[in-house]
Amino acid sequence: MMDLRVSRKTVQQGTFEKLKDAILAGVFQPGERLVEANLCEQLGVSRASLREALRSLQSERLIDFIPNRGPQIPVLSWKEAEDIYDLRALLEGEAAARCASAIGDHDISSLSATVHTLRRVVKTNNSADKLKCATAFYDVLLHNCGNEMIKQTLNGLHARINFLRARSMSLPGRTKASYEEMNALYLAIKDRDPKAARKIAQQHVQNAREAAREAFKEGQKDNEA
């Protein structure tokens, strides 16, 4: 009884999500090995179920599987990160443009509300709330871009970037600039101006990339020391 809710998740699905969250939250160090026996104990699942979950994570490139060494957290080179940002800029630009053309009045209100919330949140400097706002904004944007593939692909990219950002990121100066950019994007969408929306979205990602680069170089120095 009490099976209400669609929650009837399978064990593999549950472990997949738990592990994914852990990886994105930065629980593991880049390059760290994931020993199956340990994870089984910590998660309370069998090795079979665990390995199925790990295979899914591998296909999403959230872990590397090295033959006879097992799964480990990938170390992202700057070149790879840059490639991700470039692709993200292309796709988010496209998504923003499509969104500006197709969005309905109701979702424009949602965006407006999110932007207003963000303005308040920026002052508190609460980075969890900040992330929640950004996520909410992008959910609406992607939902309205009208192309499920773009949405899915971008979600995958976001996952990998969050994961890189988990450590060593969130430059202080970016917060305010980030708000300005999101607001500008909102205005372009509200005016249903696809060209402007694309340009702003692309520039936003490129700015994020520059910020990430600095953080990345810093991280390199730490590693050498």
Partner DNA sequence: TAACGTCCGATTGTCGGACAATAAGAACAT
Partner DNA sequence: ATGTTCTTATTGTCCGACAATCGGACGTTA
Question: Judged by CB under 8 A, which stretch of 28-36, 37-45, 136-144, 146-154 contacts a copy of itself?
Answer: 146-154
Does position 62 bind DNA by CB under 7 A? Answer: no
Exactly one of 8, 79, 106, 221 binds DNA (CB under 7 A); which one? Answer: 8
Exactly one of 25, 27, 35, 48 binds a copy of itself (CB under 8 A); which one? Answer: 48
The conformation of residue 113, written as its DSSP 8-state character, comes to H
Shortest distance in whole angstroms from residue 22 CB to DNA: 16
Binding mask 11-30 for DNA (x = CB under 7 A): xxx-----------------
- The DSSP code sequence of 24-50 is HTT-S-TT-B--HHHHHHHHT--HHHH
Strand partners, 66: 70
Is residue 167 helix, strand or coil? Answer: coil
Q: Indicate the residue among 71 and 74 with the shorter CB distance to DNA.
A: 71
* Cβ 79 vs Cβ 87: under 8 Å: no
Does position 58 bind a copy of itself by CB under 8 A? Answer: yes
Does position 67 bind a copy of itself by CB under 8 A? Answer: yes
Does position 219 bind DNA by CB under 7 A? Answer: no
Write down the residue that tokens 């990886």 correspond to.
Answer: 23
Does position 46 bind DNA by CB under 7 A? Answer: yes
Beta strands in the chain, from DSSP E residues, in sequence order: 64-66, 70-72
Residue 74 touches which of a copy of itself, DNA, none (Cβ within 5-8 Å per kind): none
Does position 90 bind a copy of itself by CB under 8 A? Answer: yes
Does position 215 bind a copy of itself by CB under 8 A? Answer: no
Does position 67 bind DNA by CB under 7 A? Answer: yes
d(CA 158, CA 179): 18
Does position 144 bind a copy of itself by CB under 8 A? Answer: no
**Cβ-count burial 156-195 (b if 16+ within 10 Å, e if not):** ebbebbbbbbbeebebeebbeebbebbebbbbbbbeebbe
Residue 70 touches which of DNA, a copy of itself, none (Cβ within 5-8 Å per kind): DNA
34 CB-near residues (< 8 Å, 6+ apart): 28, 54, 63, 70, 71, 72, 73
| Residue ranges in contact with DNA by CB under 7 A | 8, 10-13, 33-37, 44-49, 51, 65-71
